[in-house]
Amino acid sequence: MSDCVYERLRAFLDRMPGGFPSTDSGIEIRILRKLFAPDEAEITPHLNECLEEVSAIAKRVGRAESEISEKLEHMAREGLIFRYRDEGKTLYRANPFVPGLFEFHQHKVDREFGELMEQYMPHLGMLWATVKTKQLRVIPVDSALDALPAVAPYNQVREFVKKQSLISEAPCMCRREYALMEHKCDRPEGLCFSFGDVARYVIENGMGKQISVEEALQRLNLAEESALVLAPANSQEFQCMCCCCSCCCHLLKLLQWVDRPVDHFQSGYQATIDPELCTACGTCLERCQINAIKNGGSVMEIDPARCIGCGLCVSRCPAEAISFDKHPGVAAPPADCSVLAKKVKQERGLA
């Protein structure tokens, strides 16, 4: 089958909030060929972004419901589309590329896929940079917020986790990719969290394992010890959260090369070093994932244009020389992922 079916799929994915832009090299088509068989690529654009029953999808595809039901179930197990079961009904919807197809492919990733993604992600990053509302935000580590008088509930990650009825942990797709490309990263491979319906999907399809609230809180401690940035969707209620390092995370790797990373991540906080207290020990320099800190000689210095407010430097400063303050005028994130998606689509001219 020609590339036409894959180009139709690419255009379909590009109309979703996160996008999937074309490139001069056609690298995106090679990625889709790795993920989708031709028949799967033909079926997927007939799905919607909202959950629906098999009968509606089969009607649009123009095939028997029994045939499409079997095909959709297989595609859901492979991470190509999303499946939701409720009260005896099975519903399906399309997966966006990121977050979605990329992360759900972690059980089948190989070196070639990692190399393709390394070439493609700068193109996706350039698209994201054109949208005012950011796809992701940073949640500070809790220990960096201890001294602050008032912290919004959506910035208290441990309290968020305690409220969850179902949590999954999966291997980090980025770290798995770079391990296959012989990059050495000493951070834990896991720590990719999902919650609620997405967690159920991950567990049912063998992409990750169920963990308890207590285990999730322990994993958050490990993430902080490992200097990982907590990055969920840019919404108050979210269903996925990455724990990112700059040597593997595609987005953090890109942000190391821009002048103002703070413009590309929704961030509510800013770290500041008190030169009177700083001993220039370098602990913060080692923990920063975004090159926001430099050695100024007798003291460390933070570039406010680079700081994304993760709090990793605050939580481990032995001299307690780093303060953490709110960014003035930063609006609360959208209420949930559906509101975020609608807002991003409007800004991209898709709604």
pLDDT, one tens digit per residue, over 223-253 is 999 999 999 999 999 999 999 999 999 999 9
Distance of alpha carbon 124 from alpha carbon 207, whole angstroms: 24
Tell me, yes or no, whether 32 and 71 share the same domain. Answer: yes
Tell me, yes or no, whether 138 and 233 share the same domain. Answer: yes
Number of domains composing the chain: 3
Distance of alpha carbon 77 from alpha carbon 205, whole angstroms: 5
Distance of alpha carbon 175 from alpha carbon 181, whole angstroms: 10
Which pLDDT band, with edges at 50, 70 and 90, does 162 fall under?
Answer: very high
DSSP code at position 180:
H
Determine what percent of the chain is predicted with pLDDT higher than 90. 85
CATH of the domain at 319: 3.30.70.20
Mean pLDDT of the 30-48 span: 97
Tell me, yes or no, whether 25 and 144 share the same domain. Answer: no
Q: How confident is the model at residue 238, as a pLDDT?
A: 96
pLDDT, one tens digit per residue, over 296-315 is 989 999 999 999 999 999 98
Mean pLDDT of the 194-199 span: 97
Which pLDDT band, with edges at 50, 70 and 90, does 320 fall under?
Answer: very high
Question: Residue 92's closest CA among 110, 105, 76, 70?
Answer: 76
Long-range pairs of 179-188 with CB within 8 A, sequence gap ≥ 24: 180/109, 180/110, 180/111, 180/114, 181/111, 181/114, 181/115, 181/118, 183/247, 183/248, 185/245, 185/247, 185/248, 187/226, 187/227, 187/228, 187/245, 187/248, 188/222, 188/223, 188/226
Tell me, yes or no, whether 211 and 341 share the same domain. Answer: yes
Bridge partners of 104, per DSSP, are none
Please indicate, yes or no, if residue 116 is contained in any of the structural domains.
no
Which pLDDT band, with edges at 50, 70 and 90, does 287 fall under?
Answer: very high
Tell me, yes or no, whether 165 and 220 share the same domain. Answer: yes
| Whether the predicted pLDDT of 1 surpasses 70 | no
Please indicate, yes or no, if residue 188 is contained in any of the structural domains.
yes
Long-range pairs of 161-164 with CB within 8 A, sequence gap ≥ 24: 161/213, 161/216, 161/217, 161/220, 162/213, 162/217, 164/195, 164/196, 164/199, 164/213, 164/216
User: Are the CB atoms for 255 and 265 separated by under 8 Å?
Assistant: yes
Tell me, yes or no, whether 145 and 24 share the same domain. Answer: no
Q: How confident is the model at residue 149, as a pLDDT?
A: 76
Residues in the chain: 351
Tell me, yes or no, whether 142 and 232 share the same domain. Answer: yes
Tell me, yes or no, whether 271 and 336 share the same domain. Answer: no
Q: Which domain holds residue 23?
A: 4-95
Backbone CA torsion sign across 106, 110, 114, 117: negative
One-letter amino acid identity for 114? G
Q: How confident is the model at residue 301, as a pLDDT?
A: 96
Tell me, yes or no, whether 265 and 215 share the same domain. Answer: no
CA 162 to mean position of chain CA atoms: 21
Please indicate, yes or no, if residue 275 is contained in any of the structural domains.
yes
Q: What is the pTM of this model?
A: 0.94
| Whether the predicted pLDDT of 328 surpasses 90 | no
Identify whether 328 is preceded by a cis peptide bond (ω within 30 of 0): no
Tell me, yes or no, whether 135 and 220 share the same domain. Answer: yes
Tell me, yes or no, whether 236 and 198 share the same domain. Answer: yes
Tell me, yes or no, whether 24 and 9 share the same domain. Answer: yes
| Whether the predicted pLDDT of 16 surpasses 60 | yes
Distance of alpha carbon 208 from alpha carbon 104, whole angstroms: 10
